[in-house]
Amino acid sequence: MPGILLGDEFPNFEADTTIGRIKFHDFLGSSWGMLFSHPKDFTPVCTTELACAANISDKFTKRGVKMIALSVDNVEDHRNWSKDVMAFNSQAATPLPFPIIADGKRELATQLGMLDPDEIDKDGIPLTARCVFVVGPDKRLKLSILYPATTGRNFDELLRVIDSLQLTAQKKVATPADWKPGDKVMVLPNVSDAEAAKLFPNGVTTKEVPSGKKYLRYTKI
Ligand code: BEZ
């Protein structure tokens, strides 16, 4: 099975991109990274996605996340299409604020399990699905999401999960359903009450449930 699992070291691949040839780990440096693939340049949903990503790229930068896109088209197509993407954003004079990888031979797409067998090009070869990989400063995979070509992603949700990943990398907490920054977080199940009292000076509240088990522990960070 091709692909990469949470916690695996992300491959230090070399690739041609719109900013030249890169080695992925050098590109990331000590930053977080978000590699996101799309099926094809000059297609409608992909254009809205990259435009949306470009629009809020400063929010990724603020979080110390370097973005890089990928598809199976070549660098020249990526460069030309980038102009359409920025024009779609009514920012025709501004360059796309992140590079795009040209994975024409589908080497990365195959290695990382990004191909969508239901979406094929004119030669009958699978295109890349809408994959998102978030990589930590330790170069390990922190999150992966895979959408089919027919469903565009929500980039505000990607910012939200990055906020959660960065918080939970530092503190012994987990973020509940629909959490957003500023909301209460949950104390990890493997943290004892005594340790929680020391770790969370804002206090820990426990929600009572019929089982009587005290596992729903909240704190404010
Ligand atoms: C799109 O980006 O609109 C798209 C690309 C490939 C298949 C379906 C939709």
Say whether pLDDT at 1 is over 80.
no
pLDDT digits (tens, 9 = 90+) for 189-215: 999 999 999 999 999 999 999 999 999
Per the CB < 8 A criterion, the answer to whether 203 and 184 are in contact is: no
Structural domains in the chain plus CATH codes: 14-153 (3.40.30.10), 171-219 (3.30.1020.10)
Q: Is the CB of 43 under 6 A from ligand 1?
A: yes
pLDDT digits (tens, 9 = 90+) for 97-148: 999 999 999 999 999 999 988 889 889 999 999 999 999 999 999 999 999 9
- pLDDT score recorded for residue 117: 87
Output DSSP code: residue 46: H
In the sheet that holds 185-187, the strands lie side by side as 173-174, 185-187, 217-219, 204-206
Q: Is the CB of 136 under 6 A from ligand 1?
A: no
Determine the 3-state secondary structure of 140 from DSSP. strand
Say whether pLDDT at 2 is over 90.
no
Mean predicted lDDT score pLDDT of the chain: 97
pTM of structure: 0.96
Q: Is the CB of 46 under 6 A from ligand 1?
A: yes
Ligand 1 pocket test, pick from 36, 41, 42, 43 with the greatest ligand atom count within 8 Å of Cβ, gives 43
| Tokens (6 digits) for 218 | 């909240």
